[in-house]
Amino acid sequence: MFEWLVSPFVEYGFMQRALLGSLVLSVSCAPVGVFLMLRRMSLTGDAMSHAILPGAAIGFVLFGLEIMPMTIGGLVVGLLVALGSGFVSRFTVQKEDASMAAFYLISLAVGVLLVSWRGSSVDLMHVLFGSVLALNDEALVLILGIAVVTFLALGIFWRALVAECLDPLFLRSVSRIGGPTHLLFLVLVVLNLVGGFQALGTLLSVGLMMLPAVTSRFWSNDVRALCGIAIAIAVVSSLGGLLLSYHASMPSGPAIIMVAGVAYLFSALFGRRGVLASALPSRRHTSA
């Protein structure tokens, strides 16, 4: 058991860095995913993860696979896409989900073309799917920095974020911080997607953010509890995915997301608010 569970992280430095990066991402991304879920913006997170691709691709074209240029590019373009889709939905007849879909599809196409133009198929796969086993010290520092910023923001603006999440119209009617709070939240989403991009690529970075969050909904209805459960699921998924990747020779990023997906299916069936729990009262009523 020791050899199967612990030995890979003791013997190999790349596994240690992968574990540290994945755990920090789990702690940082999962609470942001909970707020996205409560806002009914789960698919927006997926769109935003693709939206950072052109910025990362520009950094790649100019500087190669360097972390900071790709990170800054992804952050800038991700925020521009979020603000641009919001601007279109505010001043036209189009809803925000439709404008976000349009922006993300354009961004994804432009990003893939840019990477394909200057790089190989290997570079494209790295950008799209990441490589958590290839995290270096610079990437870990970036991920840690994003986690610190996220927790400081959540700690300081928790009440405002919860209020803006559950009843944004009420918050804007009684306070002027509704707009800035929404902008802060978008920044946190893009930051964590950029951090996840370093390990999981643009296509899978949203997985560690959203799957634990939506899974936690089957176990609780309290915001703080949802965040704690989502973090626990993300941590277990990261650890299980890395072990599965090591022992079964699977790609590490997809393995992590697959374990999170199994946790979702299990919770959907057996969770306190899952399918079986919902069916029990009707069975008792029928037997009575």
Contact between 174 and 204 under an 8 Å Cβ cutoff? The reply is no
Spell out the residues 6+ positions from residue 106 whose beta carbon is closer than 8 angstroms to its own: none
For the chain, give every domain's residue range.
16-208
The tens place of each residue's pLDDT in the chain, 288 residues long, gives 767 788 888 888 889 999 999 999 999 999 999 998 988 877 777 777 777 888 888 888 888 777 788 888 888 888 888 788 777 877 787 777 778 778 878 887 888 888 777 766 666 676 776 778 878 888 899 899 999 999 999 999 998 888 877 777 767 677 777 778 888 888 898 889 888 887 787 667 888 999 999 999 999 989 999 999 999 999 999 999 999 999 998 888 889 999 999 999 999 999 998 888 877 765 444 444
CA-based torsion, 250, 228, 157, 83: positive or negative? positive
245 in Cβ contact with 252 (< 8 Å): yes
The whole model's pTM is what? 0.86
Confirm or reject CATH 1.10.150.120 for domain 16-208, answering yes or no.
no
